[in-house]
């Protein structure tokens, strides 16, 4: 069921099967975006509520035009600068985007992933006449997103093998956190989900100050308070030198912070990038060890730190 064969994945997706695919952010559970029954099975596999919209993945910014009717100038500039890369734009939908993809909204989310295997897959599918793949993160709904093929198998392996679906193994995801989602329907960018493309990146590229409050309030499943959660209880620690810890719990912090007492060290990322890259794997490792609690010292700062802390707060909720 886990394969390295991109051609096999192309055939599977073109014939209505699902395939978990590597991207630079996290693994996605992909289906042909124009195949209603395959899209329905994505919701079934994840046990995801039907009103939560999906992201359409395409090979290039030009292909995004088939799904979004029109983007403001700033969004065109942003996509030109970042795509392929960890950015999702939400814009007014064309007739290609069905209600099952958009959750009945009049907007659609589109992204051009940069992972070389995702790029190759999308290009080959285009030749086969497939215009885009829906791909939500390939985890059980509400669980931590997968950053390796093994994570996908742990969450969805039983469903996928029972249905003849595939997991395409492209190694560890480089970023490790889901894409930045930007609402691109107004005169200024609105960040719906922080990610590796930061507020500062977007302001620099577009020359526009970010308006932080969403004028419309689209449904973003990642914005549910409890999301991205392992089974273990995640506890955020401000000061590890004064905090009281339950023994035999997990501990995750930057490498420069020492492990207090008898805690089980789950990760020692040296940099902020490593923290993002390792985070979900460390939370999953805590569950694999059967730990009841995982203490995390959140990194401090701007940029990617905001995305890390957004996910940590939801995991800890
Ligand atoms: O990095 C990523 O974006 C990964 C990889 C696989 O591409 N995908 C991902 O998908 O994180 P998912 O389904 O787990 O999260 C997609 C988010 C959800 O929070 C959803 O509500 C939001 O995108 N979304 C989709 N369509 C939207 C729309 N029309 N308006 C607002 N939010 C939308
Ligand atoms: Mg998700």
> In the structure, which protein residues have their CB atom closer than 6 angstroms to any atom of ligand 1?
23, 25-26, 28, 52-55, 88, 90, 102, 105, 107-109, 111, 135-137, 178-179, 181, 192, 218-222
Model confidence pLDDT, tens digit, residues 48-76: 988 899 999 999 999 999 999 999 999 99
Q: For residue 244, give every residue at least 6 positions away whose Cβ sits within 8 Å of its Cβ, in sequence order, or none.
A: none
> What percent of the chain has pLDDT above 90?
91
Q: Are residues 194 and 308 in the same domain?
A: no
Q: Are residues 241 and 149 in the same domain?
A: no
Å from CA of 226 to ligand 2 middle: 12
Model confidence pLDDT, tens digit, residues 282-304: 999 999 999 999 999 999 999 99
Q: Is the pTM of this model over 0.85?
A: yes
Range(s) of the domain holding residue 282? 233-315
Q: Are residues 252 and 201 in the same domain?
A: no
34, 62, 142, 195 from 95: Cα distances, Å: 11, 17, 30, 29
The CATH number of whichever domain residue 291 belongs to comes to 3.40.50.11030
For residue 181, which atom of ligand 1 is closest to its CA? 23
Residue 179 reports pLDDT greater than 80: yes
212: exposed, middle or buried (Cβ count in 10 Å: 0-12, 13-18, 19+): exposed
Give me 115's structure tokens: 């992972």
In-domain check, residue 213: no
Beta bridge partners of 2: 167
Å from CA of 112 to ligand 1 middle: 13
In-domain check, residue 274: yes
How far apart, in whole angstroms, are the C-alpha atoms of residue 183 and residue 108? 10
5, 10, 124, 255 from 117: Cα distances, Å: 10, 11, 11, 31
Least reliable range by pLDDT among 30-44, 182-196, 228-242:
228-242
How far apart, in whole angstroms, are the C-alpha atoms of residue 197 and residue 55? 17
How far apart, in whole angstroms, are the C-alpha atoms of residue 12 and residue 18? 7
Q: Are residues 123 and 168 in the same domain?
A: yes
Q: Are residues 131 and 202 in the same domain?
A: yes
Q: Are residues 151 and 8 in the same domain?
A: yes
In-domain check, residue 225: no
Torsion of CA 7, 167, 55, 148, to 10 degrees: -120
How far apart, in whole angstroms, are the C-alpha atoms of residue 121 and residue 59? 9
The CATH number of whichever domain residue 154 belongs to comes to 3.90.870.10
In-domain check, residue 96: yes
Would you state the pLDDT for residue 211?
73
What is the SS3 string spanning 245-306?
CCCCCEEECCCCCCCCCCCEEEECCCCHHHHHHHHHHHHHHHHHCCCCEEEECCCCCCCHHH
Residue 309 reports pLDDT greater than 60: yes
Work out the end-to-end distance of the chain between its first and last CA atoms, rounded to an integer number of angstroms.
Answer: 34
Q: Sorting pLDDT into bands at 50, 70 and 90, what band is 222?
A: low
In-domain check, residue 218: no
Q: Are residues 39 and 140 in the same domain?
A: yes
Residue 104 reports pLDDT greater than 50: yes
Q: Are residues 202 and 252 in the same domain?
A: no
Q: How many domains does the chain have?
A: 2
Q: Are residues 237 and 194 in the same domain?
A: no
Model confidence pLDDT, tens digit, residues 184-210: 999 999 999 999 999 999 999 999 999
In the block, which residue shows the tokens 């308006």?
211
Would you state the pLDDT for residue 178?
98
Q: Are residues 93 and 187 in the same domain?
A: yes
Give me 299's structure tokens: 């990194």
């Amino acid at each position: 069921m886990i394969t390295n064969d991109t051609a096999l994945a192309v055939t599977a997706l073109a014939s209505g099967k699902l395939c978990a695919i590597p991207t630079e952010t996290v693994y996605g559970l992909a289906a042909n975006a124009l195949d209603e029954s395959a899209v329905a099975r994505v919701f079934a596999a994840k046990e995801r509520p039907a009103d939560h919209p999906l992201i359409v993945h395409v090979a290039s910014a030009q292909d995004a035009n088939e799904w979004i009717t029109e983007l403001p100038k700033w969004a065109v500039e942003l996509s030109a600068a970042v795509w392929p890369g960890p950015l999702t734009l939400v814009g007014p939908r064309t007739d290609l985007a069905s209600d099952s993809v958009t959750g009945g909204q009049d907007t659609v989310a589109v992204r051009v992933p940069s992972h070389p295997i995702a790029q190759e897959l999308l290009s080959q599918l285009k030749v086969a006449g497939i215009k885009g793949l829906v791909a939500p993160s390939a985890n059980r709904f509400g669980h931590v997103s997968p950053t390796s093929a093994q994570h996908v198998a742990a969450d969805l392996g039983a469903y996928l093998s029972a249905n003849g679906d595939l997991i395409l193994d492209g190694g560890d995801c480089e970023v490790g956190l889901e894409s930045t989602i930007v609402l691109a329907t107004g005169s200024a960018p609105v960040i719906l989900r922080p990610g590796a493309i930061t507020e500062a990146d977007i302001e620099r590229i577009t020359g526009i100050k970010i308006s932080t409050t969403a004028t419309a309030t689209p449904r973003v499943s990642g914005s549910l308070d409890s999301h991205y959660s392992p089974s273990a209880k995640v506890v955020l620690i401000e000061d590890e030198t004064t905090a009281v810890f339950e023994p035999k719990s997990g501990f995750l912090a930057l490498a420069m912070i020492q492990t207090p007492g008898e805690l089980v060290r789950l990760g020692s990322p040296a940099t902020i990038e490593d923290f993002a890259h390792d985070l979900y794997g460390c939370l999953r490792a805590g569950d694999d060890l059967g730990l009841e609690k995982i203490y995390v010292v959140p990194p401090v700062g701007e940029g990617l730190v905001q995305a890390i802390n957004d996910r940590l707060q939801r995991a800890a909720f």
